[in-house]
Amino acid sequence: MIEGLEELRLQALGCRACKLCQTRTNVVFGTGNPHAQVMLIGEGPGETEDLQGEPFVGRGGKFLDKMLAHVDLSREKNIYIANMVKCRPPQNRDPEKDEVAACIGYLYRQIGLIKPKIIVCLGRVAACALIDPSFKVTKQHGQFFEKNGILMMGTMHPAALLRNPMYKPAALDDLVKLREKMDQLGLA
Ligand code: URA
């Protein structure tokens, strides 16, 4: 276990810093190997995640796991997955500014404790918050940017891929680029 991560999780489980605490079933803190060198960051829990307390366990999550397996990555082995906000926005709307502001500290502390070498942002919301506010996923996906000593990449959100299957080959290509970068840097 990473020292401090369990304390942070317990703190998040009791969080009442924004209005999403009133409608959540579970806080979705994060899951995967806390010693992973790669973190994947999504937007916020959906209905299944809210019910189960784990990120990306719905239809999009199952598709994400399949794509990860294609490049020999998995949350059990070499990936840690978390979200920008830890509680489900009602009707899966985008998280609001004040909600992100109230929650982002948990993510920053997770990143600080896990110390990933690479962060992959799944979708626009995470990429705009972590890479660049004007990030365009359709144009800039698959490119690496260095920020504070961490390599960051944005790619399509799994739910968007289920809605627009034509982007699936490009998303898979992004994961191949991730795998190549990991191999280049000697990351497991
Ligand atoms: N979408 C996300 O961004 N995160 C999840 O955990 C589930 C769906």
Residue 186 binned pLDDT confidence (cut-offs 50, 70, 90)? very high
- The percent of residues above 70 in pLDDT, for the chain, comes to 100
Q: Domain residue spans in the chain?
A: 2-183
> What's the mean pLDDT in 44-64?
98
Q: How many whole angstroms from 185 Cα to the centroid of ligand 1?
A: 28
**Roughly how many angstroms between the first and final C-alpha of the chain, as a whole number?**
18
43, 87, 99, 120, best to mutate for ligand 1 pocket (most atoms within 8 Å of CB): 43
Those residues with Cβ within 8 angstroms of residue 110's Cβ, 6 or more apart along the chain or in another chain = 5, 8, 30, 39, 80, 82
56, 64, 81, best to mutate for ligand 1 pocket (most atoms within 8 Å of CB): 56
Q: How many whole angstroms from 86 Cα to the centroid of ligand 1?
A: 10
Pocket residues: Cβ below 6 A from ligand 1: 42-46, 49, 55-56, 60-61, 83, 159
The single residue listed with the structure tokens 């992959």 is: 120
Task: Quickly name the fold that domain 2-183 has.
Answer: Uracil-DNA Glycosylase, subunit E (3.40.470)
Q: What is the SS3 assignment for 145? A: strand
29, 50, 63, 83, best to mutate for ligand 1 pocket (most atoms within 8 Å of CB): 83
Residue 108 binned pLDDT confidence (cut-offs 50, 70, 90)? very high
- Measured distance CA(93)–CA(50) in Å, rounded: 14
Specify the pLDDT at position 1.
Answer: 73
Residue 168 binned pLDDT confidence (cut-offs 50, 70, 90)? very high
Least confident stretch, 82-86, 90-94, 114-118: 90-94
> What's the mean pLDDT in 83-95?
96
Whose C-alpha lies nearest to ligand 1, atom 6? Answer: 55
Q: What is the pTM of this model?
A: 0.97
